[in-house]
Amino acid sequence: MSTRTASIALTVLLLAAALCPRATGHAQAPMFNLLTATEAVAAIQPDAATAEPADLDDGEAPGEGQARDPLASDMADGLWTRGFIQHRIVHFTFDDGPRPSTTRPILDTLDQYGIKATFFVVGRQLAGRHHAEERALVREMAARGHTIGSHTWDHSNLTQLSDEQIQMQIDLSEDAFMQTFGERPWLFRPPYGARDRRVDHILAENHYTEVLWNVSGWDTLTRDPDEMLTQFQAQLDRQERHPRGPGGIILVHDTHEHTVEALPMMIEALRGRNCELLDQPGEELWDIVDDPRIFYSARGNRDPRMAPSVQLDEETIAARQAIVRAQAETYCR
């Protein structure tokens, strides 16, 4: 047993005790059933019969002469962001997976539209011999060009945990990533978006960049894909008037059947807006970017705080808009 695993074994009981339901009625329960200390240690041990190599590219040559890092090591140590940007630029993100029955069709839809997304996965869904299929699926995400971040070990509300228990959530999740990729992740989304200064500092000490959102797909509030679309359109309308800009980071979940159905409707809604804007001089079209890098701002020596609204230079916007307009000319005509 490694030193890291032994440390986890000694402290995981504290985590389990703290996460048990309390009588106050205020605590949000974890999404998944909790493990005992013995089960947690067993879960993070690689199983010789089911361990898979951490080959991220499935033998394919990396693009543009440089290997792509699906765990986004170049986005470590950033200011936390909600995705505010002074342009019609959005990025799709998915929480709570992987779940093969729903994650796989979502990946197929993204491929169909040529869109890359970021998936924030729950570490427990990758750990141990019983989750070999899920580990294979997140490696498939990477091979398809998507970015992958941590969504804690078991979807706990970090603001309700002690410092030691928050660190345990980080360590257990990182060990699950090590089983899957041979590397740790660098992007992090706290469940429920629940964060505070204490959580921010602990995540910063672990070199994470927190990625939150400012547009919701509403898939935890309704099971109706049409209602999801209505609410998505309403939020885009509100973002158009937002002082920090119209664009942002979109949150949906790759664990719902209704999200599988709604996702192409949401993408078509963005395309429809572009078709309306295409012949309007001076109007930016909606640009779906491949990763959250455009929202990244290095933290440096500063305390954790929210990243400022992004303002791109004219040359960068012109180059991006030329590509988006060429694409819109194809699907709008």
* Catalytic site positions: 95, 253
Select from 83, 143, 73, 72 the least CA-distant residue to 107: 143
- Answer whether 285's CB lies under 8 Å from 278's CB: yes
H/E run at residue 138: helix 132-143
84 close to 214: Cβ distance less than 8 angstroms: yes
CB atoms within 10 A of CB 197: 10
| Whole-number Å distance between alpha carbons of 10 and 17 | 13
Q: Which residue has the tokens 């493990």?
A: 35
Task: Tell me the C-alpha distance between 214 and 249, whole Å.
Answer: 6
Could you tell me which of 287, 307, 311 has the C-alpha nearest to residue 296?
Answer: 307
Phi first, then psi, for residue 201 (nearest 5°) are: -65, -40
Cα–Cα distance list, 257 to 36, 99, 262, 264 (Å): 31, 11, 9, 13
CB 272 within 8 Å of CB 264: no
What is the amino acid identity at position 7? S
